[in-house]
């Protein structure tokens, strides 16, 4: 598959639990430490976005064989990449802490998960403390990301405007050229521009933009479009988290600082890591996202090892403080929100609409591929990603289930997301 898989970047202050979150949702095995800046070089892992697979409804569940990820009982786990970067501190855009080199690691991310330490036991620099109010962390982190993008533009703004005027470019062309380094599609810049007052986006208006006013305002709108943010209020297993969470949910109920209320999730990365480990060692039976686990004492089937008292107590605490109270460890919800906040859609390219796999050999498996595509992606854009140069030489149309033809400029939507491309045989 030529298209790069969806990329989620975990950001946050040191010791918020970014690496723990990565370990909770992937097999990355990143180093975790109770001191700031445990992570310096970024860590990558692969997590899974769960979605109902079309194999069940089309009666080919037994033959469903994803090339990447897996499908169990009609529930498909689509791989998404997760990146964990070094901690950010206030002033990072100006070089504080480990500086803005780490902001640069975010350039290719589709969406950010801001991991916040909700327990109030680490200060803004990630140092151990007590009674810290984490409510402000969401605001300053957003400010730093904004200052980073703005700073990159502002330093060159006079030259950018001079050239813009000299070649009589449109505001869209000029800004898109400048923001392409953030992996930005043209329509993302267009959507941000659409939110600016009309008279500020005419071709000659850019020359009148003040760096600290109009440009800054545009950068903020651009960030909302380019780096949507899911906030993971982490360490919900700790004593003071409850009251901090209530305060944050109240403050963000109307959506400010680039965060929408529905994009706030509650997590315990530590609990998830422990449950996964116990499951891997056959002490418990646990499925990510669920609200409970089985032990050898209450399991419906055998095969689980007995627990010692200490482990048993720790599991009981997780059950009480996390699973019963919040319904899950929340880490999977964070992945789901991250993918869905952008409205990404799973699309299944197939070679046959009868076998949903290879035309002549059903045994080779069905629904081998699933690609997450941006909302608004057209059949043509998807074909180009998938077929590359073949698109120019042999493209002969596209169709979906029921023999329905799809026009090249048609936007791909749910229900028409199993797509067969017809190619001219030479
Ligand atoms: N109680 C509790 N502790 C957690 C949780 N998640 C992480 N921690 C602890 O918080 C500390 C920091 O965790 P890391 O995952 O290393 O944090 P980080 O954000 O990657 O930190 P840096 O790499 O320094 O930026 C460790 O002691 C973790 O065990 C959680 O959900 N609950
Ligand atoms: Mg780390």
The predicted-structure confidence for 295-333, as pLDDT tens digits, reads as follows: 998 878 788 999 999 999 999 999 999 999 999 999 999
> Is the CB of 264 inside a 6 Å radius of any atom of ligand 1?
no
For the cut 80, the answer to whether the pLDDT of residue 45 exceeds it is yes
The predicted-structure confidence for 196-207, as pLDDT tens digits, reads as follows: 999 998 888 999
Around ion ligand 2, residues with a beta carbon closer than 5 Å are 18-19, 38-39
- Mean per-residue pLDDT for 224-244? 95
> Is the CB of 11 inside a 6 Å radius of any atom of ligand 1?
no
The predicted-structure confidence for 366-381, as pLDDT tens digits, reads as follows: 999 999 998 889 999 9
How confident is the model at residue 245, as a pLDDT? 96
Q: pLDDT tier at 2 (50, 70, 90 boundaries)?
A: very low
- Mean per-residue pLDDT for 83-101? 81
Could you tell me the distance, in angstroms and rounded to a whole number, from the CA of residue 24 to the centre of ligand 2?
A: 13
Could you tell me the distance, in angstroms and rounded to a whole number, from the CA of residue 116 to the centre of ligand 2?
A: 13
> Is the CB of 268 inside a 6 Å radius of any atom of ligand 1?
yes
Taking the CA of residue 40 as reference, the ligand 1 atom at the shortest distance is 23
SS3 48: strand
How confident is the model at residue 203, as a pLDDT? 80
Q: Which of 48-52, 97-101, 157-161, 219-223 has the lowest mean pLDDT?
A: 97-101
Could you tell me the distance, in angstroms and rounded to a whole number, from the CA of residue 12 to the centre of ligand 2?
A: 9
> At 78, which helix (H) or strand (E)?
strand 75-84
Best of 15, 86, 101, 267 for a ligand 1 pocket test (most atoms within 8 Å of beta carbon): 15
Domains and CATH numbers, the chain: 7-133+228-339 (3.40.50.300), 148-223 (1.10.8), 344-423 (3.10.20.30)
- Mean per-residue pLDDT for 2-24? 90
> Is the CB of 122 inside a 6 Å radius of any atom of ligand 1?
no
Q: Is 323 exposed, middle or buried (0-12, 13-18, 19+ CB in 10 A)?
A: buried
How confident is the model at residue 181, as a pLDDT? 87
The predicted-structure confidence for 250-273, as pLDDT tens digits, reads as follows: 998 887 887 888 999 999 999 999
* Two structure tokens written together for 420: 């067969």
The answer to whether 39 touches 137, Cβ cutoff 8 Å, is no
> Is the CB of 329 inside a 6 Å radius of any atom of ligand 1?
no
How confident is the model at residue 106, as a pLDDT? 86
The answer to whether 341 touches 230, Cβ cutoff 8 Å, is yes
> Is the CB of 322 inside a 6 Å radius of any atom of ligand 1?
no
How confident is the model at residue 98, as a pLDDT? 66
Give CA–CA dist 88/101, Å, rounded.
10
Best of 25, 270, 275 for a ligand 1 pocket test (most atoms within 8 Å of beta carbon): 270
SS3 227: coil
Could you tell me the distance, in angstroms and rounded to a whole number, from the CA of residue 28 to the centre of ligand 1?
A: 15
The predicted-structure confidence for 334-388, as pLDDT tens digits, reads as follows: 999 999 998 899 999 999 999 999 887 778 899 999 999 988 899 999 999 888 8
> Is the CB of 97 inside a 6 Å radius of any atom of ligand 1?
no
How confident is the model at residue 63, as a pLDDT? 94
Residue of minimum CA distance from atom 26 in ligand 1: 34
Give CA–CA dist 273/183, Å, rounded.
32
The sign of the dihedral angle between the CA atoms of 79, 390, 180, 223 is: negative
> Is the CB of 241 inside a 6 Å radius of any atom of ligand 1?
no
- Ligand closest to Cα of 322 equals 1
Largest CA-CA distance found in the chain, in angstroms, rounded: 77
The answer to whether 338 touches 259, Cβ cutoff 8 Å, is no
Mean of all residue pLDDT scores within the chain: 92
Percent of the chain with pLDDT over 90: 76
Unique residue bearing structure tokens 């109270």: 325
How confident is the model at residue 1, as a pLDDT? 36
Pairing mode of beta strands 43-52, 75-84:
antiparallel
């Amino acid at each position: 598959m030529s298209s790069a898989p969806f990329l989620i970047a975990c950001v946050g202050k040191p010791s918020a639990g970014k690496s723990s979150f990565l370990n909770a949702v992937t097999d990355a095995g990143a180093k975790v430490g109770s001191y700031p800046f445990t992570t310096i070089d970024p860590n990558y892992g692969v997590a899974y976005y769960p979605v109902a697979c079309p194999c069940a409804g089309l009666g080919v569940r037994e033959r469903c064989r994803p090339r990447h990820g897996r499908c169990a009982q009609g529930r498909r786990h689509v791989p998404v990449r997760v990146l964990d970067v070094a901690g950010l501190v206030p002033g990072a855009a100006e070089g504080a802490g480990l500086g803005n080199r780490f902001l640069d690691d975010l350039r290719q991310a589709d969406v950010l998960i801001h991991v916040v330490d909700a327990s109030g036991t680490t200060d803004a620099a990630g140092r151990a403390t007590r009674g810290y109010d984490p409510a402000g962390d969401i605001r300053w982190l957003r400010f730093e990301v904004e200052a980073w993008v703005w700073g990159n533009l502002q330093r060159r703004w006079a030259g950018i405007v001079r050239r813009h005027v000299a070649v009589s470019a449109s505001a869209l062309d000029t800004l898109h050229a400048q923001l392409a380094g953030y992996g930005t599609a043209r329509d993302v810049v267009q959507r941000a521009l659409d939110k600016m007052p009309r008279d500020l986006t005419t071709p000659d208006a850019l020359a009148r933009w003040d760096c600290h006013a109009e440009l800054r305002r545009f950068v903020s709108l651009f960030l909302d479009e380019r780096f949507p943010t899911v906030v993971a209020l982490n360490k919900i297993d700790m004593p003071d988290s409850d009251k901090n969470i209530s305060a944050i949910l109240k403050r963000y109920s109307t959506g400010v600082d680039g965060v929408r209320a529905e994009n706030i999730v509650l997590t315990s990365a530590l609990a998830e890591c422990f449950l996964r480990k116990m499951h891997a060692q056959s002490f418990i039976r646990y499925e990510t996202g669920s609200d409970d686990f089985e032990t050898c004492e209450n399991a419906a089937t055998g095969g689980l090892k007995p627990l010692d008292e200490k482990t048993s107590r720790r599991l009981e605490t997780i059950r009480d403080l996390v699973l019963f109270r919040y319904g899950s460890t929340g880490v999977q919800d964070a992945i789901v929100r991250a993918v869905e906040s952008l409205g990404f859609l799973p699309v299944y390219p197939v070679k046959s609409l009868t076998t949903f796999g290879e035309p002549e050999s059903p045994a080779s498996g069905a629904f081998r591929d699933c690609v997450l595509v941006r909302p608004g992606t057209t059949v043509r854009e998807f074909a180009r990603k998938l077929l590359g140069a073949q698109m120019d030489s042999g493209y002969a149309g596209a169709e979906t289930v029921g023999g329905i033809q799809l026009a090249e400029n048609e936007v791909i939507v749910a229900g028409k997301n199993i797509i067969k491309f017809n190619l001219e045989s030479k």
